[in-house]
Amino acid sequence: MFASKTKALVKNLGAEGDLIDNDNVNEKIEMLTLVKVRQRRFWPVIKYTTTDLTLLDLLEEPNYSPEYTEEVLAEDFNNLIRICGNGSVGAGAHDVELKASAETDTVDGVSPITLKKKTVDIEKLRKNYTDKKVKKKFVDMLKLKEDEKLTFVYQSVYNTTPVKFFDIAINQGSTSAAFKIYFQLCVTGKKKEKTTFIVPEESTFAYSLMEITTEDGTLGIPPRTRNVRRYNEEWWRFSSDGEGDCETFQRVKGEIKMKEVLLQPLADLSAPTRDVLLKTLHMIVETRNDLSLLVDQLSTGASDGPQSQHVSSFMDLLKASNASTAQKDAIDLLVSAMDTLPDSVPALLTTCSPDTLRVLNQLVSSLGKEAKLPESLPPPLQEEGKLRWAAELLCSTGGTLQELNEQWFRPKLPAGALLEVLCLVVRGLSIIQHIM
């Protein structure tokens, strides 16, 4: 809930691209905190990993105290977000007003809030710290991967007083299929409910990063670019092509078609190898941490965290299979797509029955061609089934995907990206199990 609020707040302030919304209310991200930034290999989704080290910890002689400036970013700001239905949308000062019509499904609100922005003096920081020696042991401890950049927090946005957040979700039966997907993934339960919580003062709402380098054992602070964000906003932006469809939907379909080709080598793995790898994958996806470890193992051959027995078994099996480079790349793509899916979705998909997977695979094949659900459906795809949302999403058109995207408040995964990775996981699992 906090994650959706901070994302909406940054968006309403028009600060996207400069600020990264904080998705953890318990994480107070201090100034100069070192953050590892990594873009997913197959799609423009960026992962931020905060550390417990600061820029000063990295230096051999941190003999300079950085200077900061503070300014009010927004005063007495409040934010109403219509998630779906015909509720009131707006932002104003002092009074929070909820106007929910009979068709409103969710309304979010926040008490009046004053946000301050704290910024380090970059010119003085660069002048005093550039070319200073860094501690090699600390650089080694960070275990930067080849595709990771090292950054530090140079700007932070926080609240000056406690803030009250609330939302009201109402199930009126008017929710479109696209918005039901939102409820399935982001709101627990479908009945009317009100959720309220208070965020203490000086909580981190958002932050900005600057890249640093440690080549030759010295610190470098390159000029900052303004495109650090949770995902590439321009790539996922919706715009009409004049014929009722949208460019993003066409791009999503193009990406799926292109990456499906990369998955085809999975079919050439021997049947025993596919069976054993799938069984091991079943165990791995039960724990999201194990799934992330497997992604690291496949892409870089190493992992930061403690080793997992299931992940080690998977890698040993892959090595014993003498898989080709193309087959390894296909497995890497499939596992990366699984890890990008939210919450328990990977486990639901990898353990679903062949009949369920066959229907989902047929919907992937019909994507954008007026795909319709068959009259007879396996239980998981029926009206109250756990994978019903997936079937409805796969029936999307450019219009319904645009509708969903406009109301989407899942910070780490745009609606278009969700459709893409869902299709790739369904297709990959179908190939492994020879389900067509």
Average pLDDT (33-50) is 82
- Of 211 and 224, the structure prediction assigns the larger pLDDT to 211
Cβ–Cβ < 8 Å for 204, 158? yes
**Cβ-Cβ contacts under 8 Å for 243 (sequence gap 6 or more):** none
Residue 61 makes CB contacts below 8 A (sequence gap 6+) with 132, 133
Q: Which residue has the tokens 């009722």?
A: 244
Burial of 216 (0-12, 13-18, 19+ CB in 10 A): exposed
Q: Is a pLDDT exceeding 80 seen at residue 101?
A: no
165-196 pLDDT, tens per residue? 776 554 444 445 555 565 566 544 344 456 67
Q: 3-state DSSP: the chain helix, strand, coil percent, rounded to 5?
A: 40, 20, 35
Model confidence at 24, in pLDDT bands (50, 70, 90)? confident
3-state secondary structure of 157: strand
What DSSP state is assigned to residue 218?
Answer: B
Instruction: State residue 170's pLDDT score.
Output: 45
pLDDT in tens, 221-235: 988 765 444 444 444
Question: Mean pLDDT highest for which of 106-115, 259-268, 297-306, 364-373?
Answer: 259-268
Alpha helical stretches, state H, 366-409:
388-394, 398-406
Once rounded to an integer, what is the mean pLDDT over residues 296-321?
Answer: 79
In this predicted structure, the answer to whether residue 426 has a pLDDT above a threshold of 90 is: yes
Mean pLDDT of the chain: 78
pLDDT at position 266, please?
Answer: 94
In sequence order, what DSSP letters do the residues of 306-317 get, joined into one string? ---HHHHHHHHH
Q: What is the distance between the alpha carbons of residues 106 and 409, in angstroms, rounded to a whole number?
A: 12
End-to-end CA distance of the chain: 39
- How sure is the predictor about 407, in pLDDT bands with cuts at 50, 70 and 90? low
Residue 59 has a CB neighbour count (10 Å cut-off) of 18
User: How many Å apart are CA 53 and CA 96, to the nearest integer?
Assistant: 39
**Average pLDDT rounded to a whole number, residues 114-138:** 92
- pLDDT band for 253, please (50, 70, 90 cuts): confident
* Claim: this prediction has a pTM higher than 0.75: no
Structure tokens, 106: 């969710």
Residue 186: phi, psi to the nearest 5? Answer: -120, -20
Using the predicted structure, report yes or no on whether residue 309 has a pLDDT greater than 50.
yes
Q: Which residue has the tokens 């946005």?
A: 157
Q: Which of 216, 262, 210 minimizes the C-alpha distance to 428? A: 262
- Please write the tens of the pLDDT for every residue from 366-397: 887 767 888 889 999 998 889 998 998 898 87
Q: Tell me: pLDDT of 47 over 60.
A: yes
Report which secondary-structure segment, H or E, holds 263. helix 247-263
**CB-based contacts of 9: which residues, under 8 Å, 6+ apart?**
21, 77, 79, 110, 115, 205, 206
Residue 54 pLDDT greater than 60, yes or no? yes
Please report which confidence band the pLDDT of residue 269 belongs to, taking 50, 70 and 90 as the band edges. Answer: very high
The secondary structure element, H or E, covering residue 76 is strand 68-84
CB neighbour class for 355 (10 Å; exposed up to 12, middle 13-18, buried from 19): middle
What is each CA distance from 146 to 2, 59, 80, 230, 396, in whole angstroms? 32, 22, 42, 19, 37
pLDDT value of position 398: 74
Residue 407: closest CA among 22, 99, 87, 91: 87
Say if CB 109 and CB 166 are below 8 A apart. Answer: yes
The token pair at 154 is 């140079």
Q: Are 3 and 24 in contact (CB under 8 A)?
A: yes
Average pLDDT over residues 68-73: 92
| Residue among 102, 113, 99 at smallest CA distance from 8 | 113
**pLDDT over threshold 90, residue 155:** yes
The residue with greater pLDDT, 146 or 114, is: 114
Residue-wise DSSP of 161-200 = S-EEEEEEE---S---HHHHHHHHHHSS-SS-EEEEEEEP
| Mean predicted confidence (pLDDT) in 11-32 | 78
pLDDT bracket for residue 109 (50, 70, 90): low
**Which of residues 255 and 43 earns the better pLDDT score?**
255
> Is 176 in contact with 107 (CB distance < 8 Å)?
no
pLDDT given at position 4: 66
According to DSSP, the β-strands at 113-120 and 68-84 are antiparallel
pLDDT for the residue 411 = 52
Largest Cα–Cα distance of the chain, in whole Å? 72
Beta strands in 85-143, from DSSP E residues, in sequence order: 90-92, 106-110, 113-120
Of residues 362 and 100, more confidently modeled: 362
Cα 431 from Cα 436, distance rounded (Å) = 8
